[in-house]
Chains A and B, each alone.
Chain A
Amino acid sequence: MVEGEEVRIGVYVCHCGINIASVVDVKKVVEEVSKVPNVVVAKDYQFMCSQPGQSMIVEDIKQHNLNRVVVAACSPRMHEPTFQKAVERGGLNPYLFEMANIREHCSWVHEKEKAAATDKAVKLIKAAIAKVRLSKPLKVERVKVIPRALVIGGGIAGIRASLDIANAGFEVHLVETRPSIGGNMARLDKTFPTLDCSQCILTPLMVEVSKHPNVTLHTYTDVVSIDGSVGSFKVKLLKKPRYVDESKCTGCGTCVLKCPWTAPSEFDLGLGKRKAIYFEFPQAVPLIPVIDTEHCMYFQKGTCRACERFCPTKAIDFNQKPKEVELEVGAIILATGYALYDVAKAMPEYGYRKYKDVITGLELERLVSATGPTKGQILRPSDGKEPKKVAIILCVGSRDEKHLRYCCRFGCVAGIKHAYYVVSHIPDAEVYVCYRDIRTFGKGYEEFYERIRNYENVRFIRGSPMEILQDADGSLYFDVFDANTNRVVTLRPDLVVLETGVVPHPTFKEVAKLLKCAIGPDGFALELHPKLRPTETSVDGVFLAGAVQGPKDIPDTVAQAGAAASSAIALMSKGYVETVPYVSSINEDLCSGCGVCEPLCAFDAISLVEKDGGKKVAKVDVSKCKGCGVCAAACPSGAAQQLGFTDEQILAMVRSLAR
């Protein structure tokens, strides 16, 4: 539109089926708002977002020569882009459009006050009209997308996403904080419900991703900073020293054999030992050992150097330093996974860590694994004997208002699988599975439950114990109320397996801080929309794969990893992104150079620059500005304005609402 041109507004009131119309009197609203100056047309329609609804706007713009549009419907988070596109099709700048939320902000919350809700709808629309009247066309810029992706987390989610992106022809950098990729899946012996060997299906992918020409692996590496935004993120990685020269090491393992010092194995969750120089696990990728300086005698006392002496390729390098790696990437995939809930600390009533024979499900996986501390035998930790009576307790910490409110989504089927482990390894053992509900929702899970339920020596008890106690002779016992028999039974198991709840991996919190991406109330990454945009985050160009978004089993994790990869591929194939024009703008004539805004900007987008004549003024880097509006709110002289939300516009809305 041309400056000084007459403002001609079209207002469209949506019924949203009956979501709005059953509470708000839409006909009356249309009648009221059509009286407002500059409103040329006002209409209501059952579904404004539908094809005919949108066409109505396009036609009216042409027919009535409209230069502003207001749609009163749902939240702009839902349909603002839909209507902006319609307005654009009608030939208008999409920012000469305003949305009034009369669903979430009105009909849904005032269901029982119909007259008042109608009044409020009119007020909200009048405020939107007051704002749109002062709108100016805004320009969208295109920014190039660097065709390279960063994947954070080398578990099954990160591996799958990396492979998908690499296979599409894009460069991928896969970062893992541990010395080997593989994640939690590498710890499992078998995967439910098919009982195929976890390592057998995972290790080929680990090798494939490490050998892929498009993939660069950064193991034993942390992400230390992330700047920039979608299309061009600047990332700094810190490669921790392994004290082994990766270019010389052949992975022969002589150093590990010769090392005389031991420490608890992280991979075996402390159940077994490893050397001070160690491979994370036998199938580690890359197959390069690491020196744990805390347990290495050379680092502690300055003597030993056995590994260095015996290494046939002279690969040991005690002077290795942390190495910084800088990267520029267009897209980021978060695949940081999960950790187990700290049951030892949060639920002392179950005696985990207090009683040796109370273990977690993940620890049982290590006992059953052929490469684990017992070489695949189920032996209880206290005396190394084979347990004849095993209790498996589900929902430990999960679905609990005092602990984790959510379901862990794999504990039930994992518990059923663990019952199978016991009876297949110790045929004369009795297994008791204590459950609150059995949730076997995945494909083939119910059939698997059915199969295990039919074992004579596996009993399902419908109830959870309150506490696990120890008798004078050291044996464990607990009471559990079984709803199926209406009896309190006392169990004296040799081994107790806790199917513990899961929490986001601690690295997620740090990465989320670097990215400033939204975290949900349960601590997991918040997706943009729980149903329609489950892999996207509040930060453009950052996608989610696997348990970082919420607890997930392997099939769901792999599916989401594929979805996240395809979102990243779509972004990089397109090659550019359009910036949101709601950025901050400084009126240099008003700016006094006080600098209040500079430290407040969370995105480092504002700096003070010197103008000719020595006057200092704030300057906005629009590529960094996210349009949060903090500077505009803080500026004492009104020099900082957020485009699309200027003080003038906000005050016009306030005046309209206060009338």
Chain B
Amino acid sequence: MKCSSGCTAAKVVDRYRPHEIVALVKAGYSEELINSDVIWACSVCLKCTEYCPQRVSPFEVVMALRNEAVSRGIAPPKGFVEMAKSVLRVGYIQEPMYTMTKDFEEVSRKELGLPEMPKPRDFEKFRQHVLLVGFERLKEIAQA
């Protein structure tokens, strides 16, 4: 269970355990998972795939469950849809503006001397590609 030891999402979402998702799918509980918002917690860091001693990839299992949910018209959690919208709007899951320092000070990238975040060079082309992989469908489902 190295996956659950090092999982980025599990550190903040107690209910999310990659090994548990794989075990549930193997035991025939896929339906339950497709209808659950727990599968949307994965942050796609791929550490589980990298370190699994049995060459299992919990990440791929989670992605398959997500695709199945979307194809059935099951809405993902609101936060996830907002992220998707943000990607279509500005190219990022959220607009990078401010960040919090260790002393709880809000600073901008500019104040930290960081360069401005690069944007997709051809935004329309980027949008088209993102829509191709089914992003629009997420929005539709959420609105329905």
**Which residues of A are in contact with B by a Cβ distance under 8 Å?**
349, 395, 399-403, 436, 462-467, 478-481, 483, 486, 488
Q: Cβ of B5: which chain A residues have Cβ within 8 Å of it?
A: 463-466, 478-481, 488
Q: Which chain A residues lie closer than 8 Å to B19 at the CB level?
A: 481
B contact residues vs A (CB 8 Å cutoff): 1-7, 10-11, 17, 19, 47, 51-55
Q: Is the CB of A464 within 8 A of B1?
A: yes
Complex CA distance for A486 and B14, rounded to whole angstroms: 9
B1 lies within 8 A of A481 (CB): yes
| B2 surroundings in chain A (CB, below 8 A) | 463-466
Q: Of all chain A residues, which has the CB nearest B17?
A: A481
Q: Which residue of A lies closest to B51 (CB)?
A: A466
A478 surroundings in chain B (CB, below 8 A):
5
Across-interface contacts of B53 in A (CB, < 8 A): 395, 399-403, 436, 464
Which of B4, B10, B47, B55 lies in contact with A401, CB distance below 8 A?
B55
Q: What are the residues of chain B within 8 A of A467 when measuring CB–CB? A: 6, 51
B6 contacts A402, CB within 8 Å?
no
Bound CA–CA A479/B4 (angstroms): 9
- Bound complex: CA of A465 vs CA of B6, how far in Å? 7
B55 partner residues in chain A, CB cutoff 8 A: 401-402
CB atoms of B4 and A481 under 8 A apart: yes
**For chains A and B in complex, what number of residue pairs have CB atoms within 8 angstroms?**
52
Return chain A residues, CB-CB under 8 Å to B51: 349, 466-467
List 14 extra interface pairs beyond A466-B2, A478-B5, CB under 8 A.
A399-B53, A400-B53, A401-B52, A401-B55, A402-B55, A403-B53, A463-B4, A464-B53, A465-B5, A466-B3, A481-B1, A481-B7, A483-B1, A488-B4
CA distance A488 to B2 in the complex (A): 11
- Interchain CA distance A481-B7 in the complex, whole Å: 9
B141 to chain A, nearest CB (A): 32
How far, in Å, is A303 (CB) from chain B's closest CB? 52
How far, in angstroms, from A23 to B87 measured CA to CA in the complex? 61
Say yes or no: B54 contacts A466, CB within 8 Å.
no
Q: How near does chain A come to B25, taking the closest CB pair, in angstroms?
A: 18
CA distance A401 to B2 in the complex (A): 13
Query: Nearest 5 pairs between A and B by C-beta?
Result: A466-B6, A481-B4, A400-B53, A401-B55, A481-B5
Kindly state the separation between the CA atoms of A395 and B53 in the bound complex, as whole angstroms.
10
Considering the chains assembled together, what is the distance between the CA atoms of A465 and B47 in angstroms? 12
A residues within 8 A CB of B11? 479, 488
Which residues in B have their C-beta under 8 angstroms from that of A402?
53, 55
What are 20 A-to-B residue pairs whose CB atoms are below 8 Å?
A: A349-B51, A400-B53, A401-B55, A402-B53, A402-B55, A462-B1, A463-B2, A463-B4, A463-B5, A464-B2, A464-B5, A466-B5, A466-B6, A466-B51, A479-B6, A480-B5, A481-B5, A481-B10, A486-B17, A488-B5
Interchain nearest-CB distance for A489 vs B (Å): 9
Please measure, in the bound complex, the distance between the C-alpha atom of A327 and the C-alpha atom of B17, giving whole angstroms: 62
In the assembled complex, which residues on chain B have CB atoms less than 8 Å from the CB atom of A399?
Answer: 53
B10 — which chain A residues lie within 8 A by C-beta? 481, 488
Is there contact, CB below 8 Å, between A466 and B47? yes
Q: Please name all residues of chain A whose beta carbon is closer than 8 Å to the beta carbon of B4 when the two chains form the complex.
A: 463, 481, 488
Question: From residue A142, how far is it (CB to closest CB) to chain B in Å?
Answer: 52
Interface centre among B11, B19, B51, B55 (most CB of A within 10 A): B51
Q: By CB atoms of chain B within 10 A, which of A400, A403, A436 has the most?
A: A400
Q: Which residues of B contact A466 (CB under 8 A)?
A: 2-3, 5-6, 47, 51
Which residues of A have CB within 8 Å of B47? 466
A466 to B2, CA, bound (A): 5
Q: Nearest Cβ distance between residue A215 and chain B, in whole angstroms? A: 44
For residue A479, which residues in chain B have a CB less than 8 angstroms away from its CB?
5-6, 11
A483 to B55, CA, bound (A): 20
Instruction: Tell me the smallest distance from the CB of B50 to a CB of chain A, in Å.
Output: 9
Q: How far is the CB of A395 from chain B (nearest CB, A)?
A: 8
B54 nearest CB neighbor, chain A only? A401
Q: How far is the CB of B74 from chain A (nearest CB, A)?
A: 26
Interfacial chain A residues near B52, Cβ < 8 Å = 401
Measured between beta carbons, the chain B residues less than 8 angstroms from A488 are 4-5, 7, 10-11
* Bound-complex Cα distance A235 to B86 (A): 75
Please name the residue on chain A nearest to B20 by beta carbon.
Answer: A486
Cα distance A48–B53 when bound, in Å?
45
Instruction: Give the chain A neighbours of B7 by CB distance below 8 A.
Output: 481, 488
**Bound CA–CA A393/B55 (angstroms):** 20
What B residues does A465 contact at CB under 8 A? 2, 5-6
A6 to B5, CA, bound (A): 76
Please measure, in the bound complex, the distance between the C-alpha atom of A480 and the C-alpha atom of B6, giving whole angstroms. 7
Q: Shortest CB–CB separation between residue B24 and chain A, in angstroms?
A: 14
Q: How far is the CA of A464 from the CA of B2 in the complex (A)?
A: 5
> CA A400 – CA B51 in complex, angstroms?
9
> Chain B contacts of A463 at CB under 8 A?
1-2, 4-5
- Give Cα A400 to B55, complex, Å: 8
> CA of A349 to CA of B47 in the docked complex: distance in angstroms?
11
* Nearest Cβ on chain A to B21's Cβ, whole angstroms: 13
Measured in the bound complex, the distance between the Cα atoms of B5 and A486 in whole Å is: 11
Kindly provide the distance from the CB of B103 to the nearest chain A CB, expressed in whole angstroms: 15
Q: Which residues of chain B have C-beta atoms less than 8 A from A349's C-beta?
A: 51
A311 to B76, CA, bound (A): 82
The chain A residue with its CB closest to the CB of B47 is A466
Q: Which residues on the B side are within 8 Å of A401 (C-beta)?
A: 52-55
Tell me the minimal C-beta distance from B73 to chain A in angstroms. 32
Residue of B nearest to A466 (CB): B6
A364 to B7, CA, bound (A): 30
When chains A and B are docked, how far (Å) is the Cα of A478 from the Cα of B5?
9
**Which A residue sits closest to B53, measured CB to CB?**
A400
A269 to B51, CA, bound (A): 28
| Chain B residue with the shortest CB-CB distance to A434 | B5
List the B side residues contacting A400 at CB < 8 Å.
53
Q: Cα distance A481–B4 when bound, in Å?
A: 6
Q: In the complex, A479→B17 CA distance in Å?
A: 13
Complex Cα spacing A463 to B53, Å? 12
Please give me the residue from chain B that is nearest to A400 by CB atom: B53
Q: Complex: how many Å from CA A483 to CA B20?
A: 10
Q: Which residue of A lies closest to B48 (CB)?
A: A466
CA distance A584 to B10 in the complex (A): 66
How distant is B101 from chain A, measured CB to nearest CB, in Å? 15
- Bound state CA distance, A463 and B19, in angstroms? 11
CA distance A402 to B2 in the complex (A): 13
The residue on A at minimum CB distance from B4 is A481
A407 nearest CB across to chain B (Å): 12
Q: Which residues of B contact A464 (CB under 8 A)?
A: 1-2, 5, 53
On chain A, the residues within 8 Å of B3 by CB distance are 466
Q: How far is the CA of A465 from the CA of B3 in the complex (A)?
A: 9
| Bound complex: CA A436 to CA B7 (Å) | 17
Whole-angstrom CA separation of A401 from B57 in the bound complex: 13
Which residues of chain A come closer than 8 Å to B6, judged between CB atoms? 465-467, 479
